[in-house]
Structure 1
């Protein structure tokens, strides 16, 4: 499976320049070869978050939801249909604190493949710690007036219809489970789609940081994800551009949707 990919040439800094990093080569297009049997599409945190008017406080905090809704409607159906008709595997990474997936055969398979997990060791909070956390909830995210809607939204979270697992597609809630699914099927290259690239897909359990530690290449499809933006970046989606750079430099490759779809081989009968 050959297709173009975006890489970022993070060399050579030029000490003769006022800003040495401006000597870097920047974005480049290269042809890459993927082994379909060793590659999986990972659909991560592609949630049904309710109607736009259902939890207004949640949408006041998670500004990318309209972009995610559009991607789920326009990009996911043709992408997942094409991948499911190819030799690539499809895995799902879940989260959100609600049990909407433990009944699925793909999750039960991941659990059966994984040794008994131990919860990460937790530090002991004290009164000062609790006050600092409360200060962050009040002044950083989500804001006191949004907390009820955020909690109510997470209480009903589910797979988005366009991202629901089919059959026994693997379902993992952490990196160990996803690594076990990879090992069982000989997968070593994960192509992430879902929400959001610079947050969950990077840092949450089963995200790129986790899976890079297991030795996986971790790539993405630019049109099939978005990023958490802020006041200064939202109009131009600069945080998404930053996240794509991070993927290209640290984890894998950046693919574009149409070349990826064209390159997918058909599954053997």
Structure 2
């Protein structure tokens, strides 16, 4: 399966410039050849966040929800249909609450708990300060809690019966080993947050030896006031994928290449 992809030339810094990093080559196209037997699509945290009026406090703290809903509506149906008609498997990474353990693709495993450092009253006070003044804000907390209490797959991202489901990096790595997968192409929400850092995200799976790529049109990012208009956090996250984890694919190129696998 050959298709174009994007990488970022993080070289050469030019020390004759006032800002040496401005000498970097930047974004460029490469042709890659994927091995279908060793590549999978990962749908991560593609959640049903409720109707616009259901949890207003949650939406006030998670501004990317409308962008995610548009991607779920416009991008996920053709993408998942094309992948499901190809030899590539689809895996699902879940979290937030148990809305998945009854499904046939989920195989429970005993997690390996991480040793925790001891907390003290100052620690709890600092965490509460962050909760109230960073995110989600004290006045939004009840809605965020209520939203997570009914969390579920978005309708356009619900697993099929044979598709593997993982709730952490160990389970996703086990799916990779069982299917012979070493290259994961992540889609879902959000590229600079959950897809990167949450259990089963790129940081976890790189440690298990996987390449971790993404499709630019199938992700959005957590933005802030200074970046939201131009989605600069998404651009930074795509750069991070390209220099640290894998490749950045464009949706039209990916969809065009998939039918060649069945020829």
TM bucket (normalised to shorter chain) is: over 0.9
Q: How much has 1:268 moved relative to structure 2? A: 5.3
**Corresponding residue for residue 28 of structure 1:** 28
* Correspondence list, 1:51-90, <5 A: 51-90=51-90
Distance 2:234 2:260 in 1: 31
Distance 2:111 2:231 in 1: 37
Distance 2:212 2:242 in 1: 9
Q: Does residue 223 of structure 1 match 2:217?
A: yes
**Corresponding residue for residue 99 of structure 1:** 98
Question: Partner of 2:91: helix, strand, or coil?
Answer: strand
Distance 2:208 2:129 in 1: 36
**Corresponding residue for residue 165 of structure 1:** 159
Q: How much has 1:265 moved relative to structure 2? A: 3.2
**Corresponding residue for residue 241 of structure 1:** 235
**Corresponding residue for residue 176 of structure 1:** 170
Normalising by structure 2, what TM-score?
A: 0.98
Normalising by structure 1, what TM-score?
A: 0.96
Q: Unpaired segments of 5 or more residues in structure 2?
A: none
Does structure 2 retain, via aligned residues, the 8 Å contact 1:87–1:265?
A: no
Deviations 1:142-173 (A, max 9, x none): 11100000000000000000000002200000
Distance 1:118 1:11 in 2: 39
Q: Does residue 264 of structure 1 match 2:263?
A: no
Q: Does residue 46 of structure 1 match 2:40?
A: no
Q: How much has 1:117 moved relative to structure 2? A: 2.1
Does structure 2 retain, via aligned residues, the 8 Å contact 1:175–1:210?
A: yes
* Among candidates 140, 151, 156, match of residue 146 of structure 1: 140
Deviations 1:28-54 (A, max 9, x none): 001100011110000000000100100
Distance 2:184 2:112 in 1: 25
**Corresponding residue for residue 184 of structure 2:** 190
Distance 2:155 2:140 in 1: 26
Q: What count of residue pairs does the alignment treat as equivalent? A: 263
Q: How much has 1:15 moved relative to structure 2? A: 1.2
Q: Report the more deviating stretch, 119-128 or 198-207.
A: 119-128
Distance 1:148 1:266 in 2: 49
Question: Partner of 1:7: helix, strand, or coil?
Answer: strand
Consecutive aligned runs of 4 or more in structure 1 exceeding 3 Å deviation: 265-269
Distance 1:201 1:18 in 2: 35
Does structure 2 retain, via aligned residues, the 8 Å contact 1:87–1:266?
A: no
Does structure 2 retain, via aligned residues, the 8 Å contact 1:2–1:33?
A: yes
Distance 1:142 1:184 in 2: 39
Q: How much has 1:104 moved relative to structure 2? A: 1.1
Supply the RMSD in Å over aligned alpha carbons: 1.1
Distance 1:152 1:6 in 2: 39
Q: Does residue 199 of structure 1 match 2:193?
A: yes
Distance 1:8 1:65 in 2: 28
Q: How much has 1:267 moved relative to structure 2? A: 6.1
Q: Unpaired segments of 5 or more residues in structure 1?
A: none
**Corresponding residue for residue 129 of structure 1:** 123
